[in-house]
Amino acid sequence: MKFKSIQTKVLAVLLVCLVLGVGCVVALMHYFTVTNAKGLALEAVTSSQKMFEILEAREIGKMTAVSDALLANSQVCDALAARDRNRLTQLTAPLYPKLKSEGITNWMFHTPEPDMTVFLRLHNPAKFGDHLNRFMDKEVVRTHELVAGNELAKAGFAVRILRPVPGAKGGIAGYVELGEELGQFMHALKSQTGNEYGLLLNKKFVDRQFWADSNAVWHRRDNWDDNPDSVVADRTTANDSIIQYRGDLSAVPDQGMVLERYREGKSVFVRGIFPIRDAAGQTVGAMFVVKDITAVYFSMRQTQNVLLALTVVSLSVGIVLLLTMLDRFVFRRLRHIMHVATRLVGGDFETAINVDSDDEVGKLELLFEQFRHIFVDLMKQMIESQKA
């Protein structure tokens, strides 16, 4: 079959259409796969951020209720006002294990201004006397009202409440502070969503030596050098590689953002991140969200392969049917006309064309047959004249 034939050209065009059609289908399905993956990641980020805010509000409410009960105990208030550390410890230490089991890991009493120092740490009684100069400390002194929010200490991030303790004769006897580590929030989030989480902190807000000392105390690997600008404070997975972010945490938008889809072995994940702000409104960290979409992804790929196979089969069958119809109704009849014309030139005046269709090729057959009759009559007349 020569390329200059119409049949070959038609076949080439149809094959090009097949390739383009398959390519378009593949591109379209890839687009939908990527879009669905981004949608799953965005849903994971958005739902996790809303759930985080709900958990934060719930824990603040819980700590506020605990502080209400403490302030209702006049003995606790009097012991703080009298600066009787032993008495205050005797009254509150038995309560700490119960609070800790409820997630309240930090419990402190502070002296009032102007010195504003830690008077008693229930979670670390031997350490006291350090001066406080954080944003929430300044706010509670300024307002003498309950202050709540996230706050980053030297080596940890916690949601805290800080409120004045009234004295028996009026004034402020001191302050009580309750806090819950944000790392606990991640495990609650994981139990409700099934996603993996990592709490990232901006290094410029974390004390390097304190971080190293804390890791040594808790027998944890010092991961300070894993990332240039941030450090993983806590995570719900033992796999460090899936919690990697090289960007600027302070640039993460309020609504969070989707990062990328990636594969690890036979698993497929999408990742996202949303900011964590302290009580002063600074973005001091971010919550990293990792969603396993392996089942959904391979289901989409399986659907994609089925659709691709159906597309190839459908287009191939269509091309075969089209070529068959062209051969049956056009090319075969044209070849017959050429065959008759060739025999006519060779002196065969008897082979005729049977016209049984009134389509375009049938009209051509009719015209050729009429021409053949005229040509045969002329040739016969010429032969008779030569004989005469």
Q: Does domain 57-183 bear CATH number 3.30.450.20?
A: yes
Phi-psi region of 163 (alpha: psi -120 to 50; beta: other; left: phi over 0): beta
Rounded Cα distance, 346 and 375, in Å: 13
Q: Is the pLDDT of residue 1 over 50?
A: no
Q: 177-204: per-residue pLDDT in tens?
A: 999 988 788 888 898 888 999 888 888 8
4: pLDDT confidence band, cut at 50, 70 and 90? low
> pTM of the entire structure?
0.74
What residues have CB less than 8 Å from 321, skipping those under 6 apart? none
- Min mean pLDDT across 2-6, 37-41, 293-297, 358-362 is at 2-6
Domains of the chain by residue range: 57-183, 300-387
Rounded Cα distance, 263 and 268, in Å: 4
Q: 141-176: per-residue pLDDT in tens?
A: 999 999 999 887 654 688 999 999 998 777 899 999
Q: Is the pLDDT of residue 362 over 70?
A: yes
CB atoms within 10 A of CB 66: 19
